[in-house]
Amino acid sequence: MRVRVNKDLCTACGVCEGLVPEVFSLENGLVAEVLLDPVPEELEDLVREAAENCPDGAIEIEEED
Ligand code: SF4
């Protein structure tokens, strides 16, 4: 799985970091940054959950075979 944050949509709410701090970081305070891409298999479900719960639809997932 590949994951990106659309910086034009992200409002730095922190939901993604709260769910998967291994993958998303709000350290710069402006937009969420992706720390791990591709996403390790064991974190894929949490990343899907983060994408579903992102209030701005900013998390873009690309599933791989
Ligand atoms: S949940 Fe969405 S809007 Fe909130 S910080 Fe993460 S990417 Fe940005």
Q: Per-residue confidence at 64, pLDDT binned at 50, 70, 90? A: confident
Q: Per-residue confidence at 11, pLDDT binned at 50, 70, 90? A: very high
Torsion of CA 34, 37, 42, 47, to 10 degrees: 40
**Using a 6 Å cutoff on CB, does residue 19 contact ligand 1?**
no
Q: Per-residue confidence at 29, pLDDT binned at 50, 70, 90? A: confident
Per-residue pLDDT at 65 exceeds 90: no
Residue-averaged pLDDT of the chain: 96
Domain ranges of the chain: 2-62
Q: Per-residue confidence at 31, pLDDT binned at 50, 70, 90? A: very high
Question: So what's the architecture of 2-62 in CATH?
Answer: 2-Layer Sandwich (3.30)
- Taking the centre of ligand 1 as the mean of its atom positions, its distance from the CA of residue 31, in whole angstroms, is 7
Q: Which atom from ligand 1 is nearest to the alpha carbon of 13?
A: 4
